[in-house]
Amino acid sequence: MYNDIDLAALAEVCENAWDAFLVFKRTQVSQRALLMRTIATALEETGDELIAVAMKETNLPEARLRAERGRTIFQLLQYADACEKGDWLEIRIDTAIPDKNPPKPDIRKMLVPLGPVAVFGASNFPFAYSTAGGDTACALAAGCPVIVKAHPAHEETSTIVAQAIQKAVEKCGMPKNIFTHVYGKSFEVGKALVTNHRIKAVGFTGSYGGGKQLFDWANQRPEPIPVFAEMGSVNPVFILNEKLEHEYATVAQQYAGSITLGVGQFCTNPGLLFATKSPGLDEFKLALATAIKEINPGTMLHTGIAKAYASKREVALSQPSVSLVAESSTAPNEGQGQPTVATVSGEQFLANPLLHQEVFGPYSLLVECNDTNQMLQIARQLEGQLTATIMGTEADLKSNINLIEAVKNICGRIILNGVPTGVEVCLSMHHGGPFPSTTDARFTSVGADGIKRFARPLSFQNWPNSLLPEALKNENPLHMWRTVNNQLTQSAM
């Protein structure tokens, strides 16, 4: 429907974004916050049309899409507040000590924007992690122009959202090239974007293969740039003995729901369950099987994803010693994903790295460990994850301290007695994790701390008050929290 941008035009887009950066970086945080709120309003105004188009392109249900647009608007508003409040600027001021030997100069530090950011949205979140999603919101808050490459699976949806953003940019009197929307189904467009010298950072949500490729291109540039790629995760769940024995029925219900939520197409979908062999585990398996059988197959995002699910599920089920626990009683139609739980022993799991990999869809593997030692051994060998979950009673937790510590080492969020699906948009959320779940464990893609991905510190030494940025002036005209001579304060100096 849309033609790929040609590479000469793309290079011009990047130059224009750079020119826009020179203006945009000098805007006040209040102006950027206003822009983000105006985008939120414009997104609200896309009304039923956007939902209808997104339903057609993504197969996601209407209620889910309306909720996701609501979340996207909420994100923009929340990050706008955070942008304006300015805690993210990490302001540090040390005043001069002229009679020190040698004299100590006045030094003031704050974060400044990196430059134009390339954003590659997600197929599974057409709004919240796409065109006007978290990456775009954070980059604009930081003062960075954004170039979004429309996701090939929902280009029309992306176009409508991009138009809403462009309308808001115009309304706010901002340089139009702080936001550009380009099309590119081909490999070449993505590569040209990431390797263009005007691009200073990359945001990505998608597969390991895609994210790692962008990361490699970015690091091989003459000037390497940061890539924030969220690349998926199997989100292991460790169900401890007493919990299993006492609450197997509740846990089974909870997890049957979490595994199949949104046809298993969330990055926090629990793909691995660990428990030790016991009568409790047998009961849990039965209860989980009963629950899974009753859940109907759902239509996946597009046929390519459904086909990939069917084939990866097949491969996983055909591994040595893997056996089916249950699948939905209703057979899937074309394009649907069939809820499935399989099981394998701890030994086999340790021996077969393929079993550690994500099967994107409503699939989970229950690993039956011989004992808690084996569970610990597995936790110590697992790859990096967005989340990990411990299901345990107080007694379980007390007797599994080493396990909990091992689990902390491999994840960005550790959940107790809950499910990993559901990513709250708030400052305390860390949606990130050790490689390979992301390419940079130090930054989050959800919550206002994500703004810091697109900024770097700059120190001003010996500048007179009148020439400093507003955030650094003595009077503290923006009423920000600042660390002045090692003390956090909101006062003027």
Encoding tokens for residue 263?
Answer: 């046809």
Which of 19, 94, 245, 283 binds a copy of itself (CB under 8 A)? It is: 94
Of the candidates 236, 258, 263, the one whose C-alpha atom is nearest the C-alpha of residue 422 is 258
CA distance 59 to 467: 54
Which of 72, 157, 213, 439 binds a copy of itself (CB under 8 A)? It is: 439
Which of 3, 318, 323, 428 binds a copy of itself (CB under 8 A)? It is: 428
Which string of b and e fits 326-353 if b means at least 16 CB within 10 Å? Answer: bbbeeebeebbbbbbbbbbbbebbbeee
When the beta carbons of 115 and 332 are compared against a copy of itself, the nearer one is 115
Our CA angle for 237, 240, 242, nearest 5°, is 145
CA distance 69 to 434: 29
Which of 33, 80, 93, 322 binds a copy of itself (CB under 8 A)? It is: 93
Q: Indicate whether 434 belongs to the interface with a copy of itself (CB under 8 A).
A: yes
Strand partners, 323: 343
CA distance 130 to 294: 33
Minimum distance between the CB of residue 379 and a copy of itself, rounded to whole angstroms? 12
Question: What residues numbered 31-90 form the site for a copy of itself, per CB under 8 A?
Answer: 87, 90
Question: What residues numbered 334-393 form the site for a copy of itself, per CB under 8 A?
Answer: 384
Minimum distance between the CB of residue 66 and a copy of itself, rounded to whole angstroms? 14
Minimum distance between the CB of residue 221 and a copy of itself, rounded to whole angstroms? 9
Encoding tokens for residue 199?
Answer: 């691009």
When the beta carbons of 162 and 240 are compared against a copy of itself, the nearer one is 240
Q: Indicate whether 397 belongs to the interface with a copy of itself (CB under 8 A).
A: yes
CB 93 within 8 A of CB 472: yes
> How, if at all, do strands 487-489 and 482-484 pair?
antiparallel
Q: Indicate whether 414 belongs to the interface with a copy of itself (CB under 8 A).
A: yes
For 205, the 3-state DSSP assignment is strand
Over the window 168 to 197, marking each residue x when it contacts a copy of itself by CB under 8 A and - when it does not, the resulting string is ------------------------------
Question: What residues numbered 95-114 form the site for a copy of itself, per CB under 8 A?
Answer: 102, 104-105, 107-109, 112, 114
When the beta carbons of 52 and 426 are compared against a copy of itself, the nearer one is 426
Minimum distance between the CB of residue 91 and a copy of itself, rounded to whole angstroms? 9
Q: Among all residues, which ones are annotated catalytic?
A: 230, 267
Strand partners, 231: none
Q: Indicate whether 270 belongs to the interface with a copy of itself (CB under 8 A).
A: no
CB 354 within 8 A of CB 315: yes
Terminal Cα distance for the chain, rounded: 58
Minimum distance between the CB of residue 178 and a copy of itself, rounded to whole angstroms? 16
Which of 409, 465, 475, 491 binds a copy of itself (CB under 8 A)? It is: 409
Which of 9, 488, 492, 493 binds a copy of itself (CB under 8 A)? It is: 488
Q: Indicate whether 266 belongs to the interface with a copy of itself (CB under 8 A).
A: no
CA distance 330 to 323: 19
**Which H or E run includes 342?**
strand 340-345
Over the window 113 to 152, marking each residue x when it contacts a copy of itself by CB under 8 A and - when it does not, the resulting string is -xx-------------------------------------
Q: Indicate whether 415 belongs to the interface with a copy of itself (CB under 8 A).
A: yes
Q: Indicate whether 329 belongs to the interface with a copy of itself (CB under 8 A).
A: no
When the beta carbons of 324 and 416 are compared against a copy of itself, the nearer one is 416
Which of 44, 427, 470, 474 binds a copy of itself (CB under 8 A)? It is: 427
CA 216 to chain CA centroid, nearest Å: 19
Minimum distance between the CB of residue 440 and a copy of itself, rounded to whole angstroms? 8
Distances (CA, A) of 370 to 239, 275, 347, 349, 356: 13, 9, 8, 12, 18
Question: What residues numbered 282-301 form the site for a copy of itself, per CB under 8 A?
Answer: none
CB 58 within 8 A of CB 458: no
Which of 204, 336, 413, 476 binds a copy of itself (CB under 8 A)? It is: 413
Identity (one letter) of the amino acid at 363?
Y
Q: Binding segment for a copy of itself among 170-178, 274-282, 366-374, 447-455 (CB under 8 A)?
A: 447-455
Mention every residue, 6+ apart, whose C-beta is less than 8 A from residue 336.
Answer: 263, 297, 298, 299, 300, 306
